[in-house]
Amino acid sequence: MSRSDRRRWRSARTISDLGELMALWLEGKIASRPGYQPRYGPDDETAHLVPTLAALCRAGYVTTCSQPGLVGTGADGLWWEQRAAVELVVTDPKLFHRLVDVAYAAGLIVRINDYRPGGGAQEQPVVVTTRDGEAVTAFGGRISRADMAIQWPGLDRDLYLEVSTGTYLSIVAPEYGTAGEQMWVVLDFLTGLRRNDPADPWASSTQPTGPARG
């Protein structure tokens, strides 16, 4: 990571600051991010997710990992299946409840891992990628202190404490493949990136209808 990028990340003092920097990295306006290969941006397969992920980051949800829903033969000649999924950290209880309520109302899979002192749920991970029917990748599950430090190196001490004691959510589509891509539309309604437009074919079928607390 360059000195200028390192200074930018170290200068963040709030979750809003961190979310804005993460959004800028997703958009290619910052070359490097903490805990990731220097001068390396999001994978090509997630390029179409950038507006959704950046909007989540600017709405108070700092995304840490994501993948689209895909199925097909991989470079190894084997059959791969992938669920649309995103992992993020949230520290505001109202934002936490809003996202969880919307996700459940839309029929999405939710995994909660709470790192607050005396925190609540520590849920088990869910498989999001298979290779010839065998599990390859899972989202969710407890993060160790050592891994947390690797994920967020170089942050301001107080901000690191806030992030490392936040609540980590994994939101996962129940279906493998492109059918699960509707999940991103649900999240776009949550952040306001997508509005209820009668001309929008997704609006009536994917906009959350369940109650949102907070």
Contact 30, 21 (CB under 8 A): yes
Contact 189, 181 (CB under 8 A): no
Mean pLDDT within 148-157: 95
HEC per residue, 7-39: HHHHHCCCHHHHHHHHHHHHCCCCCCCCCCCCC
- What secondary structure does DSSP assign to 117-128, as a single string? TT---BPPPEEE
Residue 111 amino acid letter: R
pLDDT tier at 124, thresholds 50, 70, 90: very high
State pTM to two decimals.
Answer: 0.89
CA distance 74 to 81: 10
pLDDT tens digits, residue range 3-46? 999 999 999 999 999 999 999 999 999 999 998 877 777 888 88
Residue 124 amino acid letter: Q
3-state helix, strand, coil in the chain (%, to 5): 40, 25, 40
